Amino acid sequence: MKNRTLLFGEGLFETFRVYKGRRLAFVEDHLDRMAAGCRFFALPFSKKEAMDALKSALAEIPRDTEARLRLNLISYGDHGVEKTELRTSWELLKNVSIQQGPGVKLGLAHFQRFSGSPLVRFKTTAYLENIFVFTWARRQGFFDALFTNERGEITEGSITNVFFLRKGHIFTPPTDAGLLPGITRKHIIKVARTLGFSLTESTVIPADLKQFDGVFVTNSVIEILPVCAVGDTDYGIPEMIETLREGYRGSMGSNL
C-alpha cells in the first residue's frame, strides 16, 4: 500500500509547544483544525486517537523541559486514501532556533501565492513551498519571509502569522487574503480585544510597511516574537507586544 503522504504530500500535521510539566495549550483548537482539514480532503480522522497519540508522546518528554511536538496524519492507499495513521515526533525546545536578539528580521518572499488555494488554509504535508521560502530566508539572515498573494497583499510568513502596529492599533491580514488561520493568531486576536486594544483584520501591502511603528509574528512554538525589521524598514519594539505576550500566556491554561 502506497504511503500517499510521502509520495503526494497527502497528509496533515499540527505543531504544539510543550511546556514544563508536560502541558499543552489549546489542544482542542489544534485538533479541530486537523479535523476540518480531514473533512475537506476526505481523510479518515479520530480525535480520540489523536489525543491518545499526544498523551503517549508527552509521556516520553522530560517533565522539567520544554519541547516542540508534532502530530502527523499519514495517509495510505493505492488508488486513493484507504486509511490514515497518526504519528508523533518531538525535539527539545533548546534545539529549536527561536530568538535572534531583541527582535527578528523578516524578508519578503520573491514569488506570490494564490489566495484561493486550499493548501494555505490547512497545515498540509505538501509543505515544500513553505520550506523553500523558509530556507531562502535563513540563508539571507532573516528569521522568516512574508508571502504576498496574487493581488500583492501581505499574507503570512512561511512559519508564522504576522501583526502590524501603528499608534497603538493592531492590524493583521484577513484569512481571505490566503493564509493559515493560526491557533496562536486566533488567541492573540481574542487577548488583544480583551485587553482593550483596537485590532482590525485588514489588507496590508508592502508599500504600507513604512507606516507602521511595530511588527510581531506568532506561531504555537514561538508564541509572540517582536520584529525589528522587514526588508529595509526598521521598527522599534512597542511595550504592547510584551503586554500581549503576558496576556496570551495567561489565557492558555492547559487542556491535556
pLDDT tens for 14-62 read 999 999 999 999 999 999 999 999 999 999 999 999 999 999 999 999 9
pLDDT at 95: 59
Q: What residue segments make up the domains of the chain, in order of their start?
A: 4-95, 104-252
CA dist 231 and 216 (Å) reads 14
Q: 4-95 architecture in CATH?
A: 2-Layer Sandwich (3.30)
pLDDT at 96: 57
Per the rule left: phi > 0, alpha: psi between -120 and 50, beta: everything else, 92 is beta
Contact 160, 209 (CB under 8 A): no
pLDDT at 73: 98
pLDDT at 52: 97
Indicate the DSSP class of residue 206: G
Give residue for cell 508564541: 223
Strand runs labelled E in the chain: 12-18, 67-76, 83-92, 104-113, 144-149, 154-157, 161-166, 169-172, 198-201, 214-219, 223-230, 233-234
CA distances from 159 to 22, 52, 65, 156 (A): 24, 26, 23, 8
Question: What contacts 79, CB < 8 A, 6 or more positions away?
Answer: none
CA distances from 122 to 12, 59, 67, 105, 112 (A): 8, 28, 23, 26, 18
pLDDT in tens, 124-138: 999 999 999 999 999
Q: Which CATH class is domain 104-252?
A: alpha beta
Q: What is the mean pLDDT of residues 5-13?
A: 96
Q: Which of 180, 97, 179 is nearest to 135 (CA)?
A: 97
The yes-or-no verdict on residue 225 having pLDDT over 80 is yes
The yes-or-no verdict on residue 187 having pLDDT over 80 is yes
The yes-or-no verdict on residue 256 having pLDDT over 70 is no
Q: Average pLDDT over the chain, rounded to whole?
A: 94
pLDDT at 99: 57
pLDDT in tens, 61-107: 999 999 999 999 999 999 999 999 999 999 998 755 555 568 999 99
Grid coordinates representing 213 are 511603528
CA distances from 102 to 98, 179, 181, 186 (A): 11, 26, 26, 24
**Reported confidence tier of residue 254, pLDDT bands at 50, 70, 90:** low
pLDDT at 94: 78
Question: What contacts 76, CB < 8 A, 6 or more positions away?
Answer: 1, 2, 3, 4, 82, 83, 84, 85
Q: Which of 159, 128, 121 is nearest to 6 (CA)?
A: 128
CA dist 186 and 247 (Å) reads 13
pLDDT at 252: 81
**Reported confidence tier of residue 2, pLDDT bands at 50, 70, 90:** very high
Contact 217, 157 (CB under 8 A): yes
